[in-house]
Amino acid sequence: MNRLRLSWRTHVRFLVALPLLIVAELVVHQRMRFVVRQFLERSLIPESALTRFNAAIASAFRLRNSVLAEVEKLRNIQQSGEIGLRVRKISDREAATLIVFSKKLNPAIVADRAEVRKLLGLNPEAEEFSVVYGSVAANDKEIALLTRSVIEILTDLSSYIDVPATNVEQKRTFPSPAPELVNGAPVPPLIRLLSSPQKPDDAFAAVPYRQEWYWIDDKDFASKRLFSFIMFLFTLTDTGDKQGAPVITIPAG
């Protein structure tokens, strides 16, 4: 039973962490564009350094585009069924998570497998790789994942709130970032958090704050799905009800 409990925890953490790493890339990318604009609008970059600043931004965009291509390769390998997850028991209270590549090579994804191994700095001959929590792998047979906390995820998602103009004018908060354009078309946000002075009639979730209502439209399926996933993360962090202090009964008479 204890082994089953350890395996369940490991699988859930991996299944939650991996999608978050992919989703977080878009969240951070959209947020960073807003932050970079603030450097220019507030004249934090001197004119003598603008050329180097623009070159650094262009370099970051090239790196981002290459990472998106690598994510697509990971997706191809996953869909092919050539990669799996296995849990190895180390002790009664500890288990190791392994990512396993199939020994039978699929000609359709041989190039993708080699490119992903090269990107992650993995041993090209190994078939099993340990998954650990951390920012740096100890060797070429280890994959280090450094996940974000729930509060960090919520902080990034808060940039999608439709901030009322009066709150911006009163210096209560920053304005909502402008939608990013790719090839002339706006990139859809991960979640749409609307605001209005009146209570919405058709809301999936709504909460009042000061003189405004903040809500998710019940017809916005993508936002509802992401919001439900965030609520699922909260259930993983819930440790249950706290037990009260023991009650001592003293017989009398």
Judged against a pLDDT cut of 50, whether residue 13 lies above it is answered with yes
| Percentage above 90 pLDDT, the chain | 11
Q: How far apart are CA 191 and CA 177, in angstroms?
A: 13
Q: What is the pLDDT of residues 220-249, one digit of tens each?
A: 998 999 898 888 877 766 655 555 556 655
Which residues are registered as beta bridge partners of 205?
Answer: 216
Count CB atoms within 10 A of the CB of residue 5: 10
**Amino acid occupying residue 85:** L
Query: Please, are residues 161 and 175 in contact by the beta-carbon 8 Å criterion?
Result: no
Q: What is the pLDDT of residues 170-181, one digit of tens each?
A: 888 888 887 777
The per-residue pLDDT for 240 is 58
Distance of CA 124 to the CA centre of its chain: 28
Q: How far apart are CA 145 and CA 136, in angstroms?
A: 8
Residue 168, token pair as written in the block: 């911006």
Q: 217 pLDDT band (50/70/90 cuts)?
A: very high
This prediction has a pTM of 0.51
